[in-house]
Structure 1
């Protein structure tokens, strides 16, 4: 982690100390005034409301995006959303969630107040099955449900906030690859304070485990997967010695924690085994992304955990597509789609492969066939929009305007909207959409310069209604920038 990145993170620590608990859009244009009024961080009171948590979480997400490599994969993102949708009703979380995927092989996931859930690609490589993967998400939802961020802030007020910030900075630096320097920073903090905070974190971990176990059982996942996942993590920690998985830097796994979750899991009912290949297919996507230069390695790792044959065929199709053999890939996927007609991700994968192979009409036909049955299936929407940008920009603009309202926190949607607007002669819209993309990605200064340009274009074209809309968004951006400077 660079010195510049570390400095930026330090600015966030006083407001986002939940990073010690992590497993490590802006609102629609018409709702812009909702977004950036964060609490006064200089206040003597640290009482944090749910509205504060929402705003802090969204601001943190933008900072996070600015400092990490995103993994744009609509199919995987939609899958994670679907898992969370199963768990949320039983977790006590009452907020709309935003999922962000990270292009990193480090084992990590996190939940940020305000409903931000992040998943590293590396988590898929470690969790061999859907239940173990779900156990991590359920645990993170437990942190949100128990409002551990607000409770931690209250506890921090009773201790030493500057020391807490210093300790967390060391943890972040170590997690980012700082190694010995990060550990030294942590050890340099006051020992008694650290012990107090660790004890408090262990209590939070136990609460999150219990909420997660209950949610898993009620949602139809096997609660036995949570202690099993902990054992896997414990083995990884022993194998990696002084460089444990990022997850364990903030979620220490102890024998007592494993025993506690095992005892509680034993009291819950495990569902019958099922051979749904969906998770193994998604895992294959992650493995291939992380091993792009060596797809054989991706297949080797997938096969180690005895996946369903359909998942092996699916990964083979992805590999064929990567090796410029779209015919073979599409033939395999079409057969799989016939065998598993309820898995929309299979024909959506075929549509994306057709698009990547410059088979525009085939891609459009495939995506629209899916949308007739599942009108809001994001992976198919994405392929349709991509294709229309190339073949019919005006239609693409209409489609993407709708998508930007449906996915107001997705910077990729606004990026594609900007392209569609530019190609269809809507220059002011194009520049505004680009500004929205930039602010969602955390580059607020560049976004303000972009929105200034959009306002100039709107006025020059005589579109004063658009200029007024842009002017309001500019005020929102300026308020957001001021808030972030105080972060």
Structure 2
């Protein structure tokens, strides 16, 4: 994948978030850390989030509102890594770490970024972003977990609210200007976006530097506790920091994207190393093949134009044999050798029957090769054993669009209720509604997809079309749902103006 101009400013999300206004709230105190400073309505409302009210007890309503609004703008500009299997893996990892980070009740949303650069970020409101490039850099699952746990530490320690206390008078306009520059850069605006972001950063970054270093240390400590609680070796965080330092030295002082907003010093590494040694792991997790499989998918996404490089990288890193066979099957599928790919994936499934992504990948391969009935049969067989595996349920809904649109609609409608922040689900739901003679509901689903990806004005116009269709067809349930959503969308638009 080619490097996009200004992609390093995706990492600015962490610094930008320091400017977001939040309501006062307690923050998680990790051991040894001293503080220095619903169900969907019958009308068909899909259980979608409000950007103006609510939120969990752990994340304030204002944080949630602004975080969700920021995410919509980010989706509109930044390249998304649309991989349902990788998405499910990262969501599971976040869920594993959350109870040990002080954010057990947080309503988090994971977004994956199609970038080869090493980066992860967290934004107020529980938004967690991970670049595909982080998988390439982290050879072990615990190393990836260390970065995600660190980001959760920023959320748990309320660093954004505390950052606002430091510069309340200047950070709101600064945040808006910086975010505008970052979004321009993420969308390919190049030097213009970079200049806009850097120009506003310079006005206050010196005053924030020492404060940010303290924040980094606090996030490290919370992250160590979260890792240990989830069964990951805390020493992996130290290993990641050392590896980042080596990368900087090899690149002549050009730091990886993550370090642009996470200052790294020898004293910080030493402090983390000392604490890691004193942090016991109650129930250590072994090295999981699952991570190596997702890493193979990430490497393939990164080396999309030369996929053999992904295989070379796995071999160089001495990845497990199962991961290398898995990547080989993906390469066979790309080359049109479908039977060979499916045979390899079926063999891996028999060897590792508990890994849901293996049969799910086989179903994906069959569907991509045009073997729709095989994909449906494989998906149904897996869901009988693993009914809650989202990637397979989504694939079944997509495959059924070609055989039984009404069944596809029911599956995708249920999935949309469970995943109200997933634009891809609403894209499929809109198609299923259209094919099953639910025209008004199809327009509504399309409107939801548009608002989730930052196109709020188009979403409102789509709702107007939906309402006209519902009234013409005499569908009072659809008319009521559309009217309610229009009111919510107008509130969304007001919030989104913060970032324009």
- Is 310-319 or 245-254 further displaced after alignment? 245-254
Change in CA separation of 1:163 and 1:369 when aligned onto 2, cut-off 3 Å = closer
- Which of 51, 71, 79 is matched with 2:81 structurally? 71
Higher helix proportion: 1
Alignment of 1:308-387 (within 5 A): 308-387=320-399
- Which of 99, 108, 118 is matched with 2:129 structurally? 118
Q: For the aligned residues, what is the CA RMSD?
A: 3.0
Task: Give the unaligned 5+ runs of structure 1.
Answer: 19-26, 40-47
- Is 329-338 or 169-178 further displaced after alignment? 169-178
Could you say which residue in structure 2 is the equivalent of 1:146?
157
Alignment of 1:87 onto 2:90: no
Distance 1:239 1:463 in 2: 64
Distance apart, 1:468 and its partner CA: 2.2
Distance apart, 1:184 and its partner CA: 9.7
Alignment of 1:1-400 (within 5 A): 16-17=19-20, 30=45, 35-37=50-52, 50-93=60-103, 94-157=105-168, 162=173, 182=194, 186=198, 193-241=204-252, 243-269=254-280, 274-400=286-412
Could you say which residue in structure 2 is the equivalent of 1:42?
none
Distance apart, 1:179 and its partner CA: 6.6
Task: Give the unaligned 5+ runs of structure 2.
Answer: 22-39
Change in CA separation of 1:165 and 1:391 when aligned onto 2, cut-off 3 Å = closer
SS across alignment from 1:390: coil
- Could you give the per-residue CA deviations for residues 14-73 of structure 1, whole angstroms, max 9, x where no partner exists? 98559xxxxxxxx9863779613279xxxxxxxx97111111111111111011111111
Distance 1:222 1:145 in 2: 20
Distance 2:486 2:285 in 1: 54
Distance apart, 1:96 and its partner CA: 2.1
Alignment of 1:404 onto 2:419: no
Distance 2:176 2:461 in 1: 33
Change in CA separation of 1:378 and 1:31 when aligned onto 2, cut-off 3 Å = closer
- Is 176-185 or 418-427 further displaced after alignment? 176-185
Distance 2:463 2:193 in 1: 41
Distance apart, 1:239 and its partner CA: 2.5
Alignment of 1:420 onto 2:427: no
- Could you give the per-residue CA deviations for residues 212-231 of structure 1, whole angstroms, max 9, x where no partner exists? 00111111101110011011
Change in CA separation of 1:333 and 1:471 when aligned onto 2, cut-off 3 Å = same
- Is 294-303 or 159-168 further displaced after alignment? 159-168
Change in CA separation of 1:329 and 1:138 when aligned onto 2, cut-off 3 Å = same
Distance 2:496 2:192 in 1: 30
- Could you give the per-residue CA deviations for residues 314-368 of structure 1, whole angstroms, max 9, x where no partner exists? 1101111111111111100111011101101101100110111111111111111
Distance 1:281 1:347 in 2: 13
Distance apart, 1:171 and its partner CA: 7.7
Is the Cα–Cα contact under 8 Å of residues 19 and 174 in structure 2 kept in the other structure?
A: no
Distance 1:188 1:233 in 2: 27
Change in CA separation of 1:254 and 1:167 when aligned onto 2, cut-off 3 Å = farther
Change in CA separation of 1:13 and 1:136 when aligned onto 2, cut-off 3 Å = closer
Number of residue pairs matched? 465
Could you say which residue in structure 2 is the equivalent of 1:24?
none
Distance apart, 1:195 and its partner CA: 2.6
Distance 2:318 2:48 in 1: 51
Distance 2:361 2:454 in 1: 30
